[in-house]
Structure 1
Amino acid sequence: MLERGAGNASRNPRRTAATATALLIGVTLTTTMVVGASSTRATAQAGLAANYPTDVIVETYEGIPVSAQQQLASTEGVLAATGLTRATVTGSDGEENQVTGIDPAQALPVLRSADRTMLPEPGQIAVPAWSLDGHGVQVDGTMTLDAGDRSRTFTVVAGTDSMLLLDAVDLQGLVPDAPVQTMWLRLADGIDQNAATDELTDLAGTALSDPFVTGLASERAAMDSVVDVLLLIVTGLLGIAVLIALIGVGNTLALSVVERRQESGLLRALGLTRGQLRGLLAWEAVLVAGVAAVLGTLVGGAYGLAGATSALGQSSETGTVVISIPWLQVAAIVLVATAAGLLASVLPARRAARIPPVAAIAG
């Protein structure tokens, strides 16, 4: 049956190729968008992970009271939290600098990736690698900080963040009343992080003065909303591809039924059942739509990867493009397009099966 269907599909190669090409274009566009959107999402998430150490960051210049810290840390969905102190000190170059104090023991459970944030040890100061020359220091050298009548010298290490980082105890020794101006919060996996972020934002707005809430979760939500729009476009493209399959494959099979009317009647007279005749036409439709769908996903996948690499290569925060192929969605595209071809064969097959063998042979 399959071999016979393949022979029928190749009997009129130009018409079959035209039908398959129309479906191939629709599937190619759909796959290009799916692969491109998936790679865009993965690359953007990698960039967010490079810029934000944890899920939610709450900041305020007036300081976060202990009561507010406890409220934020005990909010439902918050897995771990830590507070960062901040103070203004004078550096070795005589310029004033904002220095942040962090407790590594408390910070580690909060960080999504510990290798993206340099946690200084006691006696060290983490200086952003890009600003070493601006501060007039070098790695393994020393940097002296002054605050009033207090002065301390620290060993310089290359930092991964855009701020000067000290161990919290060291900053407290230099500026005893340094307030907590930042809270890092990690959300539990498997929860609605958008809802949890909104709740934390509302809480911060109530408990703090002019808070600024950001981080992985909020930025990821904004990015996902953009990607979701792209996926809606993909759904529309897939609908167009399905429509093309229904019309194109249906027309091809209808013409095939008319041209092979006598052949179908002869096969029926020789013992071919109506069900077998319908199956023969169904296999023909599945082969045309299936081949077009498979080729479309291959071509569309290549275009999607090439487009993502070209568009995101220079603009991604990490400098590299994360390739992501949504295999389940690609498989769904192939199945939907093939099923559409099968559906398109229903009416022509019923029409062919209803013709009596004698009438079909007579033409």
Structure 2
Amino acid sequence: RIIPPVVALAGRAAARFGGVPASLAAGNATRNPRRTAATATALLIGVSLTTAMIVGAASTKATAEAELRASYPTDVIVTSHGEEIPEGLLDELSGVGGVATGVSLTSTEVTGPDGFAERAFGVDPVAGGQTARSGDAGVPDVGEVYLAAWLAESWGIRQDAPVTLTKDDRSVTLTAQVSETSTAITMAATDLSVLDAEAPVGQIWLRLVDDRGAEAEAVTLNEITRLAGQTILGVEVAGVTSVRQALTSILETLLLIVTALLGVAVLIALIGVGNTLALSVIERRQENGLMRALGLTRGQLRGLLAWEALLVAGVAAVLGVVIGAGYGLAGTSAILGQAAALVLDIPWLQIGAVVAVATVAGVLASVLPARRAARTSPVAAMAT
């Protein structure tokens, strides 16, 4: 019910710019409201579903990246779960194209309030601050210890509370900073050295050059993984970049498949627009002939049908985007709202492309009916 009134409203606005053809098109588009609504609804549904997928995928990616930034302090984290990381590996990895800077972290086993051993990492606050990306999973100052939220809850430790860590007969008391970091315990390297003066290097943080694009980041990440794997057995390469690459690949593949399927639905809807216009040309054959006899040119008749298609397809596309964006945001909120802090993202460029493609395709669907109407002579049309 809403489509014909919106088409009529858009037609009045178009009449100011399109002259007589646009004014006549507005009247023709709403002459049969049910047919107009049925034609536009098919296109509206296709555009709505496409927009919902685009907005949903973009919001899912934005939410996931926000969670990644909270979980990982920097772009790439190389962790050894076995042997010590050689001193020269940091320089080797820092020389990979696309790497901006890096820092080594020492590592040792420490005992917490629950009496169980946990692996802790020590980072230089200055070098770590130059390498880190996220404040939430960032770099502790001297006297602080960053605890993963799950570990702090297990220990019964709250934000800014003192926590004592021990190793053999040595201990250190630090101020707890609770975060969503993926690393259980991170402290300043000087504090870790109090517990273990000979703690080996167990982790490397690497920060990549900004704004290099997904493909360039993938090349850099693959080279880092190759070099680390050649040097260390049991190495793990994680961080924001690696997880984001995997997530982006999954979302892009899913979006490509769904968009292709929905593109077929939109194409079918546009065929419906062309069929509706062809039917209207047949029904208004005498009327079109009379207008031609009264001075309407062939070009104006083609323009009339193009405006009619533009109004129907344009209104359907715009309404489809509005409805689809709403469904996309609602769906993302329902799926991710309980698991993470939702970050809404509306990719206006892609949505604008959907509107433009649907509208232009609708106008192109009017070409054959308009050609048929324009080629019919006024006398033959009125004699039918």
Same fold (TM over 0.5): yes
Tell me, yes or no, if structure 1 residue 246 matches structure 2 residue 270.
Answer: yes
Q: What is the deviation of 1:138?
A: 5.8
Q: Which residue in 1 is equivalent to 2:10?
A: none
Q: Which residue in 1 is equivalent to 2:337?
A: 313
Distance change (3 Å), C-alpha of 1:34 and 1:84? same
| Paired residues of 1:142 and 1:153 also in contact (CA < 8 A) | no
Deviations 1:195-248 (A, max 9, x none): 110000000011112211111111111101111122213431452244234311
| Paired residues of 1:140 and 1:155 also in contact (CA < 8 A) | no
The 5-angstrom pairing of residues 1-363 of structure 1 reads: 1-60=21-80, 61-91=82-112, 94-113=115-134, 115-117=135-137, 119-132=139-152, 134-135=154-155, 142-149=162-169, 151-160=170-179, 161=181, 162-191=183-212, 192-315=216-339, 319-363=340-384
| Paired residues of 1:253 and 1:281 also in contact (CA < 8 A) | yes
In 2, Cα distance between equivalents of 1:34 and 1:133: 37
In 2, Cα distance between equivalents of 1:338 and 1:92: 65
Q: What is the deviation of 1:312?
A: 1.1
| Paired residues of 1:10 and 1:16 also in contact (CA < 8 A) | yes
In 2, Cα distance between equivalents of 1:71 and 1:105: 21
5+ residue gaps in structure 2?
1-20
In 2, Cα distance between equivalents of 1:289 and 1:92: 66
In 2, Cα distance between equivalents of 1:241 and 1:182: 51
Count, aligned residues: 358
SS at match of 1:231: helix
Normalization by structure 2: what TM-score?
0.87
| Paired residues of 1:93 and 1:136 also in contact (CA < 8 A) | no
Deviations 1:234-279 (A, max 9, x none): 4314522442343111111111111111111111111111111111
Distance change (3 Å), C-alpha of 1:126 and 1:55? closer
Q: What is the deviation of 1:99?
A: 2.4
Matching residue's letter, 2:372? R
| Paired residues of 1:37 and 1:227 also in contact (CA < 8 A) | yes
In 2, Cα distance between equivalents of 1:275 and 1:328: 33
In 1, Cα distance between equivalents of 2:113 and 2:273: 76
Matching residue's letter, 1:184? W
SS at match of 1:98: strand
Distance change (3 Å), C-alpha of 1:267 and 1:124? closer
In 2, Cα distance between equivalents of 1:167 and 1:240: 57
Return 185-194 or 155-164, whichever deviates more.
Answer: 155-164
Q: What is the deviation of 1:155?
A: 3.0
In 1, Cα distance between equivalents of 2:271 and 2:83: 66
| Paired residues of 1:79 and 1:185 also in contact (CA < 8 A) | yes
| Paired residues of 2:310 and 2:363 also in contact (CA < 8 A) | yes
Distance change (3 Å), C-alpha of 1:80 and 1:276? same
SS at match of 1:11: coil
Deviations 1:301-329 (A, max 9, x none): 111111111111123xxx21111111111
Q: What is the deviation of 1:148?
A: 4.3
| Paired residues of 1:26 and 1:237 also in contact (CA < 8 A) | no
Q: What is the deviation of 1:130?
A: 4.2
Identity %: 54
Deviations 1:46-76 (A, max 9, x none): 1211211111111113111111121112221
In 1, Cα distance between equivalents of 2:152 and 2:256: 46
Return 138-147 or 185-194, whichever deviates more.
Answer: 138-147
In 2, Cα distance between equivalents of 1:68 and 1:52: 21
Normalization by structure 1: what TM-score?
0.92
| Paired residues of 1:245 and 1:337 also in contact (CA < 8 A) | no
Q: What is the deviation of 1:91?
A: 4.4
Q: What is the deviation of 1:144?
A: 4.2
Matching residue's letter, 1:28? S
Matching residue's letter, 2:45? I
